[in-house]
Every structure is written in structure tokens, then in C-alpha cells.
Amino acid sequence: MRVVHYQRRPRAVLNHSIEQSFALVREALVGRVDVTLAVAPHESRGIRDRLAIVADAARQPGDLVHVLGDITFAAARTAPARTIVTVLDTVHETWPSGLERAVIEWLWLDVPARRGVTFVA
């Protein structure tokens, strides 16, 4: 089985725990599962960059695409039968209600939940 870990483009500061955790997972799977790392082509900022991330995730080879970190929306066009999405943080649930919260819940949670197998940790 060929697995692709699809993760966000690293930022200069903060938000590296998921990448470090899954680097350890890939190390532990060496010799048992063919796991490769694919990094999103852009940071998750703005609609154009996010659409490019969605398109890039959909083109990933492999039997399974595992979307990691805060780019769960990347699963919007991947094949549901070969997609896993890991949701680690739902801090937006503490935000006030409104359009921004509704859009974030829809793109980051609802769409991925309908597109693949979602694990919430």
C-alpha cells in the first residue's frame, strides 16, 4: 500500500506539532508501509492559495491520501474511498457565531467529513 501524508506548507513560526508527530509515524512505518510526504504548494491563506491546495491534494498518487493539520479542506476533491482526514484542533468552536465561523466549519469540518474518513483526536 502506498500512503501519502499531505500536510500544510510550514510557516516560519508556530504550528509544527502535527508535522513533527507524523514524521515519527513515517519513521515507525519504514519497511512496513510505503509512506511519502507531500507538502501543500502554498500556505493556507486566501481563496486562490486554498483552491490550489485542494487541486494539488486531488492529484496526489497513492492508494491512500492522509490529510494532516489545519488544511482539512484539502480533502474537498480527493477520492473519498482513499482519503483520511485528521482533525486535531477545533478552536474555532470557541469563536463567536457569525459568517466567518460558519464558513470555517463548513470548509474545515463539514466538507472533509463528507469526503473521507475523519478521525478527530
Q: For residue 106, what pLDDT is reported?
A: 81
Which residue is associated with the grid cell 474511498? 81
pLDDT lower than 50: segments of the chain:
none
Q: For residue 26, what pLDDT is reported?
A: 92
Q: How far apart are CA 45 and CA 13, in angstroms?
A: 15
Q: For residue 69, what pLDDT is reported?
A: 80
CB distance 41 to 55 below 8 Å: no
Q: For residue 66, what pLDDT is reported?
A: 93
pTM of the model: 0.82
Q: For residue 65, what pLDDT is reported?
A: 93
